[in-house]
Chains A and B, each alone.
Chain A
């Protein structure tokens, strides 16, 4: 299908023994080898993983709280606006405003600023997934727990939490992937030195296109595929919760 053609091409060309993305010359894995020796790329990859890990943990915690709050008080207006707007607006605006903000607050631009920015927009996604999961819960289960002697906190810990755990996990995976992939916001808040994988890929594409890019892309795709499969295992249908 139309959707897959471009990706297949990239994968295919990553094995192409040629500098140009034109003809099929021969099958080789040497671009992957070059990749492994590319210092800048490795650093960027390490940064990306670090950032994604931190950002996903923080935004999962905050996002779960937000999802709970959205579920419990659906008529309130402040929280939904704060949480859901970052998902819908163009990333350019967020990136730019965060840039100004960090500079004014004298926060140096680097990995920290990247993490902080990522969390801001990941909270919304996690919250939506968690809220969808909560809405699928039978409310009489909580009542039954209370009726049988559980305090609200105990009911939450022993009944609600185990039952929404798949949703939380799906949200965490979603946040991780979004953070790993993010380009626009990172672009503005990274500053001159820090680099993440998407940024690295971007400069490679702009400046000097080598099939290394294809190789990186293939690897990244494989990683996201694996994550998606994992998410599918844990919480089928949670992906749809976003829309």
Chain B
């Protein structure tokens, strides 16, 4: 079986070059997405932050910092050291804090988001738990069933609820009929807080179920068996074993529900009434209706801060819980 033997490598590269090549490859791989996102995500965000400090233009938008000289066609800065106050101001912030309506909207948004999160948790946890407990071959199918509605268009889902909750809708009439027996007058189910919360919950439920399921599925059933063996009843088994272990999933789900819910605007727009405006709606108004961009940016900045605060709080609690456990 004499075969040609492979030649030994002739040139020997020293170690540093070999490592360098690996490093360069790493940069090469991450460069395109990083570049793209810097331009289309990081930059716009920064610009928005800056915009919060600027002044509105005459026809809306932002008062331009740069202008084209009609004579020469060259760009020239309008801003100079002496007139910078016309371009930058804190007026937006003042207005935000002075007029109580904005804080009210914020508070309401927080409230809606919080209620939505809690209801999603209350509904989603048992659902996730049931699926995680069910026979292995059913699990994939069940999860698919839960996720499937999520794959349909979000507007359609809101619209579907509009049908159901409208005065002619099935649900409305059923509920009113039932209430009628008690002599209570017909209630309106649409265009109010109730509708907003219902749709918010409906839209965000999968976001709560999925992380919870991912977490619960990994629980070792032997742990619960061990607890029962050590004389824990069903409630204790849940509260002292399952629940603490599922907390990371709970926080993940809560974050995935709370944060987007906070910024929702389409839902209140479609199914909410005038008294159930959320911060998203106000931002949209400022940008597209009143065209007061600086103020809209101020609101967006406030929303961003709120989101960051929520995320930080979630992370902090999660870390504390992890350390304690």
Contact = CB atoms under 8 A, between A and B. Distances in A.
Contact present between A and B (CB < 8 A): yes
Interface of A: 1, 3-7, 9-10, 13, 20-23, 61-63, 65-66, 68-69, 72-73, 78-79, 82-83, 85-86, 88-94, 96-101, 103-104, 116-117, 119-120, 123, 127, 152, 177, 180-181, 183-184, 187-188, 197-198, 201-202, 205-206, 213, 217, 220-221, 224-225, 227-228, 232, 236-237, 239-240, 242-243
B263 interface: yes
A80 B272 CA distance: 36
Contacts of A243: 210-211, 213-214, 252, 256
Contacts of A66: 30, 33-34
Contacts of B260: 88-91
Contacts of A183: 153-155, 266
Contacts of A22: 168
Interface of B: 22, 25-26, 29-30, 32-34, 36-38, 40-45, 47-48, 51, 61-62, 140, 143-149, 151-157, 159-164, 166, 168-170, 202, 205, 210-211, 213-214, 252, 255-256, 259-260, 262-266, 269-270, 280, 283-284, 287-288, 293, 296-297, 300, 303-304, 307, 311
B160 to A, nearest CB: 3
B34 A220 contact: no
Given A73-B26, A78-B34, A79-B30, A90 B263 contact: yes
Given A184-B265, A242-B210, A217 B33 contact: no
B160 A228 contact: no
Contacts of A20: 168
19 contacts: A3-B149, A3-B205, A7-B160, A65-B30, A73-B26, A78-B34, A88-B260, A90-B264, A92-B265, A92-B280, A92-B300, A96-B300, A100-B62, A100-B293, A205-B155, A206-B269, A213-B159, A217-B159, A243-B214
B32 A62 contact: yes
Contacts of A123: 33, 36-37
Contacts of B270: 205-206
B168 A21 contact: yes
Given A92-B264, A184-B266, 20 more contacts: A3-B205, A6-B157, A10-B160, A10-B163, A82-B42, A93-B300, A93-B307, A98-B40, A100-B44, A100-B51, A100-B62, A100-B297, A101-B44, A116-B40, A117-B40, A120-B36, A127-B33, A183-B153, A225-B148, A242-B210
B155 A202 contact: yes
A63 B36 CA distance: 11
A154 B23 CA distance: 17
Most A CB contacts (10 A, CB to CB) among B33, B156, B162 go to B33
B225 to A, nearest CB: 26
B137 to A, nearest CB: 12
Contacts of B252: 243
Secondary structure dominating the interface of B: helix
B163 A21 contact: yes
Most A CB contacts (10 A, CB to CB) among B51, B152, B265, B269 go to B152
A68 B210 contact: no
Given A96-B297, A123-B36, A240 B156 contact: no
A177 to B, nearest CB: 6
B260 to A, nearest CB: 5
Secondary structure dominating the interface of A: helix
B25 A152 contact: yes
Contacts of B307: 89-90, 93
Contacts of B34: 66, 78-79, 82
Contact of A225 (B151, B155, B163, B311): B151
Contacts of B62: 100, 104
Contact of B155 (A91, A188, A201, A239): A201
A104 B159 CA distance: 35
B148 A97 contact: no
A227 to B, nearest CB: 7
Contacts of A205: 155, 159, 162, 270
A66 B154 CA distance: 27
Most B CB contacts (10 A, CB to CB) among A13, A90, A183 go to A90
A52 B160 CA distance: 24
B163 A13 contact: yes
A204 B287 CA distance: 22
A196 to B, nearest CB: 11
A224 B287 contact: no
Most A CB contacts (10 A, CB to CB) among B51, B145, B159, B256 go to B159
Contact of B61 (A4, A103, A187, A206): A103
A50 B48 CA distance: 29
Given A4-B149, A91-B263, A97-B48, A72 B29 contact: yes
A104 B65 CA distance: 10
A116 B159 CA distance: 28
Given A92-B263, A181-B153, A228-B151, A62 B303 contact: no
A6 B287 contact: no
A157 B250 CA distance: 39
Contacts of A202: 155, 266
Contacts of A96: 48, 283, 287, 296-297, 300
